Amino acid sequence: MTQIPSPQEVSFFKENGYLLPGRPLFSDDKFNRLFNIFEEHLQNRGELQPDELDVPHHKDDRLFEFLLADEVLDVVEKIIGPNIGLWSSHFICKEPRTGKNTPWHEDSAYWKGRFDKFDNIVTIWLAIDQATKANGCMGVLPGSHQNGFSEYQEIANNQHKIFNIEIKDKIAKDKIVWFELQKGNYSLHDSRIIHGANANNSDTRRTGYTMRYFSTDLSLNRTHPNNIHHRIYHCRGGNNGNNPLIYL
């Protein structure tokens, strides 16, 4: 059974916008099943780049074993409360010497207008491979989740299909906390925190599986064009925001 965040860890998350529990999310057997599913997606990605395996659960029901697992939802509930919906998931793979950087951004900026507000949205970043500074691990600017939306600009000569804007102001790199994770361990971050990652300049692959959850007390904007065909799922609890949840 996964150890849930302690009251001290929850308090740290609320203040800083992230948490590095330093422990695995799943048992070894369960993690290995997920690892093998990822390898299948990577091998069968077609024309997609390794970092473009977005919402894989939309086409692979096997992933709900992990996305709706008690080991995950018990952690999420401590952060956002008992009413939980699944917003998205994403395999993000940076191959050795070729993985692109992830520009500095807030997840909430890419979702502007899609929810009525952006508190109580959390991402679990599960290390499918070991993540280090050398192979492009994620970094966050602590406390920046309390600042609201940053000013953005389009990325010149952009090679990203997913990340097409970046924060305009210079990021204080000396304040960044880098998420170096052992394979199977995980981190948590608020949807509003400023974060990014460097390119993978090492000889080792770096892959994470992001699992994003929102409090169903929030309300999805049903008329937003990016929401019309986006599927969100009931995980646990009620649906006070009257959201168009899919019940499995």
Question: Residue 223 maps to which CATH number?
Answer: 2.60.120.620
- What are the backbone angles phi and psi of residue 88, rounded to the nearest 5°? -165, 170
- The reply to whether 172 falls in a domain is yes
- The reply to whether 160 falls in a domain is yes
Show the tokens assigned to 103: 């520009």
How many Cα atoms sit within 13 Å of 150 on the Cβ side?
Answer: 23
pLDDT tens, residue by residue, 43-63: 999 999 898 899 999 999 999
Proportion of the chain in helix, strand, coil states, percent, rounded to 5: 25, 25, 50
CA–CA distance, 75 with 155 (Å, rounded to integer): 35
Residue 158's pLDDT band, with cuts at 50, 70 and 90, is low
Average pLDDT value over all residues in the chain: 93
Show the tokens assigned to 139: 């970094």
User: Which range among 96-100, 119-123, 201-205 shows the weakest confidence by mean pLDDT?
Assistant: 96-100
Burial class (CB within 10 angstroms; exposed 0-12, middle 13-18, buried 19+) of 179: buried
If one counts the domains in the chain, the total is 1
CA–CA distance, 188 with 83 (Å, rounded to integer): 18
Residue-number span of the structural domain to which 63 is assigned:
7-246
- The reply to whether 2 falls in a domain is no
Fill in the DSSP letter of residue 116: S
Question: Mean pLDDT over residues 172-181, rounded?
Answer: 95
- The reply to whether 1 falls in a domain is no
Q: Residue 245 above 80 pLDDT?
A: yes
Fill in the DSSP letter of residue 214: E
CB 54, CB 161: distance < 8 Å: no
